[in-house]
Every structure is written in C-alpha cells, then in structure tokens.
Structure 1
Amino acid sequence: MTTCETCGNDYDKAFTVTRGGRTATFDSFECAAQAMAPICDHCGCRILGHGVEADGDIYCCAHCARKAGHHELADRAVGH
C-alpha cells in the first residue's frame, strides 16, 4: 500500500504525478489536483485546463486576466 500525500489514505492503486521538479503520490485525481494544479492569480481557483498566462502570471480564464489588468487576452478567437 502507498500513502496519498494529500489525504493520507493508504491505497493499493495509488499513482505518482510529476510536475516540474516535484513528484508526489496520490490515491485519486481529486487529491492530485488539490496538491499539484496551479492556482489562478486572480480568483484563487485550481486551474485544471490550459488557463491563460500574461507577464508570468497564470489565470483560469481571460475574464480573470482582464480583471487583473491584462485586457489583451481572450478565451476564444472571435471572427473567422
């Protein structure tokens, strides 16, 4: 059995995730996301998708980036 680093559960189907230089063991994707997913610099939610980046900051969406002053970002292309 391996122990989840987020919740402490011993689980025979635990897995490891590596992000950057950090490797950790988890018993669920929920625990892995809680520990490893980046956090939006505006609203603080966990970023589980691509997110958007500006000037070294990461946001969950263009709305949050705009609220932080990055008005050039958009969630999707408009027009053809």
Structure 2
Amino acid sequence: MAKCNQCGNDYDKTFQVSRDGQTWTFDSFECAIQMLAPICAHCSCRVIGHGVEGSGKIYCCAHCAEEKGVQGLEDRV
C-alpha cells in the first residue's frame, strides 16, 4: 500500500500524477486537486477546468480576470 501525499491515507488503490519531473501519490482525485490545481487569482477557488490566463495569472473564468483588470478574455469564443 502507498500513502497519499495530500492526506496521508495508506490505501491500496492509490494512483500517481507526474508533472514537471515530479511525481505524487494520491488516494483520490479530491486530494490531487487540493495539492495540484491552481488557485484563481481573484476568487481563490481551485481551477479544475481549463480556466483562463492573463497578465501572468490564472483565473477560473473571464469574469474573475476582468474583476482584476484583465481585458480581452472570453470564457467561450
């Protein structure tokens, strides 16, 4: 069994996620999201969809980017 890097649960059905040369072990998608998903620069929610990026920051949607002064982004084109 392996331990989840987020919650420490020792579980027999863990999975691994690799990114940028690092690998983490998780027992659920919830734990993977909590550790790896970016946080919206406006509302602080976890961005688990595509999100949008503007001025070097990630936002969950164009509305949040606009609230921070980023112009020209659209959720759907």
TM-score, structure 1 length as denominator?
0.89
User: Any idea what the Cα deviations from partners look like across 1:11-60, whole Å, max 9, x if unmatched?
Assistant: 11101111223321000000000001011111111000110001211100
Q: Distance in 1 between matches of 2:21 and 2:54?
A: 23
Given that residues 40 and 59 in structure 1 are in contact (C-alpha distance below 8 angstroms), is that contact kept between their aligned partners in structure 2?
Answer: yes
Runs ≥4 residues deviating over 6 A = none
* Stretches of structure 1 lacking an aligned partner (at least 5 in a row): none
- Alignment map for 1:1-80 (pairs within 5 Å): 1-77=1-77
Q: Quickly say closer, same or farther: Cα 1:21–1:43, change in 2 above 3 A.
A: farther
What is the identity, as a one-letter code, of the residue corresponding to 1:63? H
* Stretches of structure 2 lacking an aligned partner (at least 5 in a row): none
When the two chains are superposed, the root-mean-square deviation of aligned CA atoms in Å is 1.0
Q: Distance in 1 between matches of 2:15 and 2:39?
A: 22
